[in-house]
Structure 1
Amino acid sequence: MDTPPMQSDAAPAVPAAAVDYSNLTTDLVIDIQGRLAFVDRLAVGAVFGAAGHAVKPEAPWLVLPGETPETNRLYSVSDRLVTTARAPDPAMRGCCVVGSSGGWVVTADRRAGLHMVNPVTGEQLALPAITTCPFFYITNPTWPLFHVNILQDQLIRVRCGGGGGENEKIHARLPLCTLVADQMVGWVYRKVVLSASPRPGGYAAMLLLDLDRHPGNPAFATSDDPTWRVASSPDGIEDAIHHRGKFYSITYSGVVEEWDRRDGPSSNEFTSRVVSPKPAKGGGDNHHHRKNYLVAAPGGKLMVVTKYFKVEDGEFSWQTKRRVCFEVQVLADEEKGGRWRRKASIGKMAVFVGASSNSVCLSTKAHPELRPDSVYFAADELAKGPFCRGEDGYHNHRNGDDKKKVVGVYSLKDGARADGLPELGDHATWPPPAWFTPLI
C-alpha cells in the first residue's frame, strides 16, 4: 500500500502490493490494530476499512502547524502523543484549517482558495472558488498582489432577506470591501461545515462568512451545484453542525434552525426553519467573550455549549485575569417544540469544540481514555494571523490568564481552572489548532 500522508516521518514507506485483506477475521483485524503505533494505526485502519472491515472509531485528533510548511503536527487525545506528519499537497501545505467533519477537513490557502481533504488518505478536492458567489470578484490577479473585492451591500441585503425602508438605506451605505487574498482567513472565512460523509463528487458544504459588523452570513455549495449561494439569516449564524442528514445552526440571538433545500433534493437554494426556543443566556453576569457551540449528543439530542471567561479581579488592575468556563444546555421534548435544560454535568460524555471544528460529543464508555464530564477545547476564533500581513495571531497575556490557553480540557463537574494538554503546552501559534475525527 502507498505511504499515507499522515504516516509518521519516522515510519518507513510500505511498498504497494495487491493484497486481499477482506478475508481477515474481525478478531485478527482488532488484534493488529491494537499492536500498532498511533499514527500507523490510522494508515492500516484505512486499508482495512477499504476492504470492508469495521474498525474501532477514533477519538478526535488535533492538527497543529509543523515546523515547516511541508509538515503538520498531529496530537492524539487517546494516546496523548504528538508526532510530525507530511502535509498533503496542496490542500494542507501552508494552509489554515477552517472546518472539519465526517473525517475530512477544510483548509484555506493564501490565495483565498478552499480545499476539502482527508488527512488520513490524502484524498482531496478543491471546493468552489469564492468568486462563484456574485458578491465577490478579483482584481490585480497576479499573485501575490491580487485582491478580493466584496459587495457588502448586496450580500447583506440577501442575508437579511431583502426588504426595504430603513434597512434598504443601511445596506446602500455599506462600502465596497477590498482585501488582499491572504486576509480572507480570519477576516471573512470563519468556518466551513461539511455533510456527514462528504467525498469528492458527493458533498454539501455550509460556509460562514464574517463581514464588518455583520458576522455569520451563511452560504451553501454542493457537488451538483458548485457555486456559493448566500442564504437568508437576519440574525446571523454563530455556529453550525451537520446532524441527522441536515445542517443545523444557532444564531446570535440563540435560535436553533434546521436547513434544507428549498424545493427538495434537486433544489440549489437552502432555507431554514426554527426548531427550538432560545436557550437561557449562559455565562452569568461576570463574563467576557461568550461563545456558543452547537453539539449533537450520542443519542441525537441537541446541546448548546457556552464558553466564556470569568473575570477575576486582583489587588491591582494590572493583576486582573480571566478564567475559562463552560456551561451546557440540552434540548428536551423536541417533538413538543423543545425546552432547554441547563446541565451541571453531562455524565459519561466528553465534548470537543473549536472555531475550526465540527463540534463532537462522545461517550466515555466507548472511549474510556477520555475524561468524562469534560469539554476539550481549541481556539474559539480564527485570529488575524500571519496570513494577514504577518501579524501574531494571538496576543501575549499575563501568566495564569486562561485567555492564552488555545487548547485545553475543562471539567464540568469540578468547575476548576481548565487544564492544558501537557504534551502541547500553550500553543499560541498560527494557524490555530483544530480538531478532526479520523475516518478510517
Structure 2
Amino acid sequence: MPWEPPSFAFWVFLELKWCGASHGWLVASDELSNLVLYHPFNFATIPLPPITDLECVKGVYDSDGSIVGYRYGKRHEYEPNQPGAQGLGTWFYQKVVLSCNPSRGGDYTAVAIHYYDGNWISFTRARESRWRLAAAPADRSDDRYADCVYHDGRFYTVTLHGVLEAWDLCGPQEPSKEVIINGDRRYRGIHTRFLVSTPCGGLLQIRTLERIRRPGKIEVEVLQVDVQECKLVSLSSSTALRDHAVFVGLNHSACLPVREFPELRPNCVYFTTPRLIHHDNFGLPGWRGVGIYDLENHTFDFGPDYGGLWPSELWYVPNR
C-alpha cells in the first residue's frame, strides 16, 4: 500500500472519524467511509482498501459514477440513517488494530471489527490491497466481538459472552483460528470486555460489570489469560496491575509503568467512551468522556467531558 505525501490540511484532519490508535498511528474513516492510517506528527497517510471491498457493503452511485452512499447487510438490505457517503463510517467500524508499525516497512496486518452489531472481523495485509473476511456472525447469535489486541505474534479477540480466540493472520498462509476459552457464562451482567498485552508478556482480560451499589454503577475485574492452559485466572483487585496503569477504549490497549510516567495512577484503568461506536458495546450508558477506575478502592472518577467535540476520544501512545 503506497505512502501518500504529508499533505493533510487541518480541515481534512477534522473531517476524519477515529476508530483506532495502534503502534503510533491513528486509524480513521474518511469522507467516503474508507479507512486510512494517519500519523499525527509527520502527517503521513496510508489508505486501506475501500469499504466496498467488504462483502457486506455495496456502493450507491450517481449518474457520474461517484459514490453517494452505501447499502449494507448480508443481502445489502439496509441503508444508513445518515445520508451521504460519510455517514456509514461514523459507526460502522467498531475497532481497528495493527500488528506493527507500518512506517518501518514491515508486512503489517490490520484487523477491523465492523458491521452494525460488531459481529464481523475482516483483515488486510500490506501489499494485498484487499479486505478478507475472517469471521461472520452465526445465525440467531446474540454474541458479538468486544475487543481485539495483537499479542505475541497473533491477534486475540474476545466476545461479550467471553469467547476468547487466537488468530494467525499475518503470514502468507490462510487465516486460522484457535478457540482459547469458550465463554465464561457471566455475560448477562457484563457491559464490555477488553484485552491488554502487558510489558512482561502476559495477556489480561478486563471486564466491566453492572453493580448498582458501586460508584459509577460498575465494577471492573482483571483476569490473567493463561493461553497454554486455556483458562482465566482471577487477580486480586488490590494488586492486579501493581505499578502499572492500563488504557482501554478505541485504541490498541496499552499497559504503562507508572515509574516512567509519574503523572499516572498505579493500579488504575483509564477508560474512554468514544461516540463513534454504540454505548452498549464498548461504552457504558450514562457516562462519557474519560473515566478512571481505581481497582484497589473500587472508585470511579470522571475526567473531562468534551461534550459535542468531534472526533471521538481515544488514547494515543506514540512509538518509543
Give the TM-score normalised by the residue count of structure 2. 0.81
Cα contact 2:94–2:277 (8 A) shared by 1: no
Per-residue CA deviation, residues 354-373 of structure 1 (Å, 9 max, x unaligned), is 1x211111222333331001
Per-residue CA deviation, residues 310-344 of structure 1 (Å, 9 max, x unaligned), is 3359xxxxxxx953432211124x32333332431
2:79 alignment partner AA: T
| Residues in 1 aligned to 2:39 and 2:115: alpha-carbon distance in whole angstroms | 26
| Residues in 1 aligned to 2:144 and 2:217: alpha-carbon distance in whole angstroms | 27
TM-superposed CA distance for 1:115, in Å, is 0.6
- Give the corresponding residue for 1:414: 297
Cα contact 1:322–1:402 (8 A) shared by 2: no
Cα contact 2:274–2:312 (8 A) shared by 1: no
2:102 alignment partner AA: P
Pairs within 5 Å for 1:28-427: 87=10, 90=12, 92-141=13-62, 146-153=68-75, 176-179=77-80, 180-199=84-103, 202-211=107-116, 214-233=117-136, 234=138, 236-261=144-169, 265-267=171-173, 269-279=174-184, 281=186, 290-311=191-212, 322-332=216-226, 334-345=227-238, 346=240, 347-354=242-249, 356-379=250-273, 382-383=276-277, 403-416=286-299, 418-421=300-303, 425-427=304-306
TM-superposed CA distance for 1:383, in Å, is 4.4
| Residues in 2 aligned to 1:195 and 1:338: alpha-carbon distance in whole angstroms | 24
| Residues in 2 aligned to 1:273 and 1:201: alpha-carbon distance in whole angstroms | 25
Of residues 310, 314, 318 in structure 2, which corresponds to 1:434? 314
Q: Structure 1 residues 216, 380: closer, same or farther in 2, change over 3 A? A: farther
TM-superposed CA distance for 1:144, in Å, is 9.6
Cα contact 1:102–1:439 (8 A) shared by 2: yes
| Residues in 1 aligned to 2:123 and 2:285: alpha-carbon distance in whole angstroms | 35
| Residues in 2 aligned to 1:104 and 1:339: alpha-carbon distance in whole angstroms | 31
CA-atom RMSD in angstroms: 3.1
Q: Structure 1 residues 105, 434: closer, same or farther in 2, change over 3 A? A: same
Per-residue CA deviation, residues 273-295 of structure 1 (Å, 9 max, x unaligned), is 1123534737xx8x5x7011111
Cα contact 2:118–2:144 (8 A) shared by 1: yes
Where 1:185 maps in the other structure, the secondary structure is helix
Give the TM-score normalised by the residue count of structure 1. 0.60
- Give the corresponding residue for 2:3: none
- Structure 1: unaligned runs, 5 residues or longer: 6-68, 71-86, 154-174, 314-320, 385-392, 394-400
Q: Structure 1 residues 339, 433: closer, same or farther in 2, change over 3 A? A: closer
- Give the corresponding residue for 1:43: none
Cα contact 1:130–1:136 (8 A) shared by 2: yes
Per-residue CA deviation, residues 97-135 of structure 1 (Å, 9 max, x unaligned), is 101111111011232121101212222111110112233
- Worse-superposed segment, 214-223 or 197-206: 197-206
Q: Which has the higher strand share?
A: 2
TM-superposed CA distance for 1:414, in Å, is 0.9
2:202 alignment partner AA: K
Q: Structure 1 residues 437, 280: closer, same or farther in 2, change over 3 A? A: farther
1:339 alignment partner AA: L
2:165 alignment partner AA: E
Q: Structure 1 residues 237, 231: closer, same or farther in 2, change over 3 A? A: same
| Residues in 2 aligned to 1:93 and 1:326: alpha-carbon distance in whole angstroms | 33
TM-superposed CA distance for 1:151, in Å, is 4.2
Q: Percent identity?
A: 26
- Worse-superposed segment, 234-243 or 99-108: 234-243
1:231 alignment partner AA: A
Aligned residues: 297
Q: Which has the higher helix share?
A: 1
Per-residue CA deviation, residues 175-224 of structure 1 (Å, 9 max, x unaligned), is 6122342222343211111112223674210011123xx43200011112
- Structure 2: unaligned runs, 5 residues or longer: 1-5
Where 1:100 maps in the other structure, the secondary structure is strand
Q: Structure 1 residues 277, 94: closer, same or farther in 2, change over 3 A? A: same
2:112 alignment partner AA: L
Q: Structure 1 residues 358, 198: closer, same or farther in 2, change over 3 A? A: same
Per-residue CA deviation, residues 55-100 of structure 1 (Å, 9 max, x unaligned), is xxxxxxxxxxxxxx96xxxxxxxxxxxxxxxx4x74x332111011
Cα contact 1:349–1:364 (8 A) shared by 2: yes
Where 1:208 maps in the other structure, the secondary structure is strand
